[in-house]
């Protein structure tokens, strides 16, 4: 049996099976055996410890039904499965190849047994002068027939499984590519909406926008020295040397979903801008300067999110 489940591959395939539907451990073992057309089945000592480890890591959870644990994948498990979509497609191809190799081994074993049986039959026929087949001769012929039939069935099943695995791998690659494209389009859409919304906004944007988006203005949080005194935001060379707050929004714990984390950052940014506008008021000059900051920031973010060529 080739080691197709080495280096965390069995863990990945267990997540795939649980993503299809909640299952208990025995059902997972049975499904793996079906995927290999009965040529290979993992032991309970292989599957159950890995399910327990996935549960400890928060990637799966379980509920007790009829005295048995029924495992289900969590959002964190789906996120890992999505991140490793390409690796999953490669694993499907490796399983297909493993089934083909096992079928070839069985075919060789059957051929060897059939050859040995034929030699024994010829030897028996040469040693016997009786013109009529006895019971042992008939039994040997039947064994040979069964061996040939079993080999044909194994070859057919291996061919069917290879075709299905190839189709599933191709579909998995397409789905992974489509998911990546959807995620990229969604991020670009959010950035575009962000630019349009704040280009038309009447909120106070100046210092805080520049601070967060790369050093074009000084930090302007409620309670900061510049905000308390009403000092104007620096421009020109002074703005270029201002540094962004390195600890901004660090209290937002990452979820593991980049698109969701970006939404949370944009929400925090909008709330900070509104707080500044409420606390300090808005003037036409500040609004014009803030609009320019936001337009530049939106362009920079959209450029950052575009795929690197």
* Partner residues linked to 69 by β-bridges: 64
Helix (H, G, I), strand (E, B) or coil at 24: strand
CB 62, CB 69: distance < 8 Å: yes
Cα(15)–Cα(184) distance, integer angstroms:
24
CB 210, CB 239: distance < 8 Å: yes
pLDDT tens sequence across 276-306: 888 988 899 898 988 999 999 899 898 888 8
Report in angstroms the alpha-carbon separations of 303 from 192, 220, 257: 11, 25, 20
Lowest-pLDDT range of 4-8, 67-71, 218-222, 289-293: 218-222
pLDDT for position 109: 67
Q: Which has the higher per-residue pLDDT, 121 or 271?
A: 271
pLDDT band at 127 (very low <50, low <70, confident <90, very high): low
pLDDT tens sequence across 76-92: 999 998 888 888 888 77
Closest Cα partner for 97 from 163, 176, 162, 29? 162
Does residue 22 carry a pLDDT above 90?
yes
pLDDT for position 171: 82
Q: Which long-range contacts (CB under 8 A, 24 or more apart) does 282-287 make?
A: 282/202, 282/203, 282/204, 286/204, 286/205, 286/206, 286/233, 287/202, 287/204, 287/205
Cα(74)–Cα(261) distance, integer angstroms:
18
- Give me the mean pLDDT over the 217-228 stretch: 38
pLDDT band at 110 (very low <50, low <70, confident <90, very high): low
Does residue 273 carry a pLDDT above 60?
yes
- Give me the mean pLDDT over the 24-34 stretch: 89
Q: How is residue 123 written in tokens?
A: 């030897």
Q: Which has the higher per-residue pLDDT, 22 or 38?
A: 22
pLDDT for position 74: 95
pLDDT for position 211: 43
- Give me the mean pLDDT over the 127-152 stretch: 76
- Give me the mean pLDDT over the 224-239 stretch: 40
Does residue 224 carry a pLDDT above 70?
no
- Give me the mean pLDDT over the 194-201 stretch: 61
Cα(103)–Cα(109) distance, integer angstroms:
10
pLDDT band at 239 (very low <50, low <70, confident <90, very high): very low
Residue 132's CB is within 10 A of a number of other CB atoms, namely 6
Closest Cα partner for 217 from 197, 237, 185, 242? 242
Q: Which has the higher per-residue pLDDT, 209 or 161?
A: 161
- Give me the mean pLDDT over the 37-62 stretch: 88
């Amino acid at each position: 049996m080739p080691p197709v489940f080495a280096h965390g591959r069995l863990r990945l395939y267990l997540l795939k099976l649980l993503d299809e539907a909640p299952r208990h451990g025995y059902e997972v073992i049975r499904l793996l055996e079906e995927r290999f057309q009965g040529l290979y089945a993992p032991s309970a000592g292989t599957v159950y410890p890995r399910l327990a480890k996935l549960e400890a890591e928060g990637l799966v959870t379980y509920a007790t039904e009829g005295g048995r644990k029924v495992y289900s994948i969590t959002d964190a498990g789906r996120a890992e499965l999505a991140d490793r979509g390409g690796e999953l497609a490669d694993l499907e191809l490796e399983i297909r190849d493993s089934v083909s190799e096992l079928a070839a081994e069985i075919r060789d074993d059957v051929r060897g047994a059939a050859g040995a049986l034929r030699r024994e039959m010829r030897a028996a026929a040469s040693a016997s002068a009786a013109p009529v087949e006895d019971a042992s001769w008939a039994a040997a012929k039947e064994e040979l027939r069964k061996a040939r039939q079993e080999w044909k069935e194994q070859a057919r099943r291996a061919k069917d499984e290879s075709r299905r695995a190839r189709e599933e791998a191709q579909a998995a690659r397409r789905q992974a590519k489509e998911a990546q494209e959807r995620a990229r389009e969604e991020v670009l859409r959010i950035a575009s909406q962000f630019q349009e919304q704040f280009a038309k906004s009447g909120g106070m944007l100046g210092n805080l926008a520049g601070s967060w988006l790369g050093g074009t203005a000084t930090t302007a949080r409620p309670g900061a020295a510049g905000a308390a005194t009403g000092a104007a935001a620096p421009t020109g060379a002074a703005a270029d040397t201002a540094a962004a707050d390195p600890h901004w929004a660090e209290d937002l714990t990452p979820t593991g979903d980049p698109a969701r984390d970006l939404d949370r950052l944009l929400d925090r940014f909008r709330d900070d801008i509104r707080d500044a506008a409420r606390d300090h008021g808005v003037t036409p000059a500040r609004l014009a300067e803030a609009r320019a900051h936001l337009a530049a920031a939106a362009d920079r973010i959209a450029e950052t999110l575009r795929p690197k060529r």
